[in-house]
A and B are shown apart, each in its own frame.
Chain A
Amino acid sequence: MKVGRSLGCLMVVALAAAAAGGAALGQAATTIPKDALVQPEALHRELQANPHAALILQVGSRMMFDQDHIPGAEYAGAGSRPEGLQALRMRVGGLPRSKAIVLYCGCCPWDKCPNVAPAWQLLHGMGFTHVRVLYIAQNFGTDWVARGYSAERTQ
C-alpha cells in the first residue's frame, strides 16, 4: 500500500516536472555548472569577432531589456515565471538542438538571480547541447553597460 502511495507521489512529481518542461522554478543561478558559464568580457570579445555567434536570449525583465540589452538579443520572458518559461520554450522549440544559445538576466547579484537557472534547465532538458549562461556578478548595468560593452535600447 505504501509502495503504491509512493509511486503515486512520484508520478505527481514527474507530471509537474514535465509540465514545467524539466525546469525547476526557484532554482538558484549557483546550480548552473561552471563549464556552462561565459564571462562578460569573453562574450563581449566573441560578439565583436562575430555578432551572430549565438542566439542571445534575455530571460529577466522586459522593462530592463527595453532600456538596454546586448545587441541582437531577444527578450524571452522571465525564467522564474511559468509564462516566461513557456515563451522561452516556444522561441527555441523549432531550433536544432546544436544551436549555440546564450542566456542572460542581470536582474540581481548572481547568487540571488531567480531567472537564469530555470531557463538553463529548460533548454538542457529539451536537449540543447550548446547553451551557455552569461555570468553577471552584480547586475546588467554594472557588469555590462558600465564596462562599456555594446548595448542598445529597444526601438
Chain B
Amino acid sequence: MRTLVAGAVLVGVMNCAGRAQEPRSLVGRRAPEFSLDDLHGTHVDLARDRGKVVLLNFWATWCAPCKVEMPRFMEWQREYGARGLVVVGVSIDDSEAPARAFVEKLHVNYPVVMGNAQLGERYGGVLGVPVTFLIDRAGVVRARFDGEEHLGAEERQMRGLLGGSER
C-alpha cells in the first residue's frame, strides 16, 4: 500500500514538473495509423499498406540532413518497391508551398504528406529532423532513426524486413 501511495505521489510530482522526459519509444509496438492526403491530393492510408514494409520519414525543406537522405529514399523506392517497400514522407514545414516546390523540383517518387503536432506526438515526439521509422509487414515499428547518419543501418534493416532473395 505504501508503495502504491509513493508511486502515485511520484507520478503526481512528475506530472506537475512538466511533460514526459523521454520520447515514448514505439519500437515493438503497432505503428499509429493515419490517413492524410499527399501533396498531389492522393490519399495515403497507413492501414492500406499493411503487408508492406513502410519507411516513414519526417523531414523539412530547410533541413540539410533531410536533403541528403531523400535522394537515397528515392533510390530505395525504385529498387525495392517491387519487393514491397513503401516510402512515405511527412513534411514538418509550416506550409505546403515550400514542401510542394521541393518535392516537384526533386521529382520525389513517393507520397509526401504534411505533418501536424498530433501525428508527431503519436509517433513518440518528433522534436528534430530527420526522424525515420521502419515498419514491418505486420504494421509493427521495428526501428526509429534520429538524424541522417544511419542510412547504412536503415538500408540493412529495411532489406532484412523485406526478406526474400538479396541482390
Number of A-B contacts (CB under 8 A): 102
Majority secondary structure, B binding face: loop
Total residues of chain A contacting the partner, CB 8 A: 35
B interface, size bucket: 20 to 34
Query: Provided the pairs A64-B128, A67-B127 are in contact, do residues A139 and B146 lie with their beta carbons within 8 angstroms?
Result: yes
Q: In the complex, are the beta carbons of B62 and A67 less than 8 A apart?
A: no
Q: Flag A16-30 by CB within 8 Å of B: 1 or 0 each.
A: 000000000000000
Digit string of A82-118 for contact with B (CB within 8 Å is 1, else 0)? Answer: 0010000000000000000000001111001011000
| B125 x A61 contact (CB < 8 A) | no
Q: Quick check: is A1 within 8 A (CB to CB) of the other chain?
A: no
A145 touches B65 (CB 8 A): no
Asked if A106 and B21 make an inter-chain contact with CB atoms under 8 angstroms apart, the answer reads: no
The answer to whether A108 and B127 touch (CB under 8 A), given A61-B92, A145-B21, is no
Q: In whole Å, how far is A155's beta carbon from the nearest beta carbon of chain B? A: 11
Q: How far is the CA of A133 from the CA of B68 in the complex (A)?
A: 26
Q: Is A148 an interface residue (CB 8 A)?
A: yes
Interface residues of B in 120-152 (CB under 8 A from A): 120-121, 125-129, 146-147
Q: Which of A121-155 contact B (CB under 8 A)?
A: 138-142, 145-154
CA distance A61 to B119 in the complex (A): 14
Bound complex: CA of A150 vs CA of B21, how far in Å?
9
**Residues of chain B within 8 A of A67, CB atoms compared:** 117, 120-121, 125-127
Asked if A77 and B94 make an inter-chain contact with CB atoms under 8 angstroms apart, the answer reads: yes
In the complex, chain A residues whose CB is within 8 Å of the CB of B125: 67-68, 141, 145
B residues in contact with A149, CB < 8 Å: 18
A67-B121, A78-B94, A81-B62 as given contacts; A139 in contact with B19, CB under 8 Å? no
Query: Which residues of chain B come closer than 8 Å to A61, judged between CB atoms?
Result: 60, 92-94, 129
| Least Cβ–Cβ distance between B149 and chain A, in angstroms | 9
Cα distance, A112 to B129, chains bound together (Å): 11
- Contacts A66-B117, A148-B21, A153-B19; A107 near B128 (Cβ below 8 A): yes
The yes or no answer to A63 lying at the interface (CB within 8 A) is yes
Q: Are B23 and A141 in contact (CB under 8 A)?
A: yes
Task: Report B85-103 residues with CB < 8 Å from chain A CB.
Answer: 92-94, 98
**B116 CB–A CB distance under 8 Å:** yes
User: A142 — which chain B residues lie within 8 A by C-beta?
Assistant: 127-128, 146
Kindly provide the distance from the CB of B21 to the nearest chain A CB, expressed in whole angstroms: 5
Chain A residues, CB < 8 A from B21: 145-148
* Chain A residues within 8 Å of B, Cβ to Cβ: 61-64, 66-68, 71, 77-78, 80-81, 84, 106-109, 112, 114-115, 138-142, 145-154
* 7 further A-B pairs in the complex, CB-CB below 8 A; given A63-B115, A107-B60, A150-B17: A61-B129, A81-B98, A107-B62, A108-B64, A139-B127, A145-B127, A149-B18
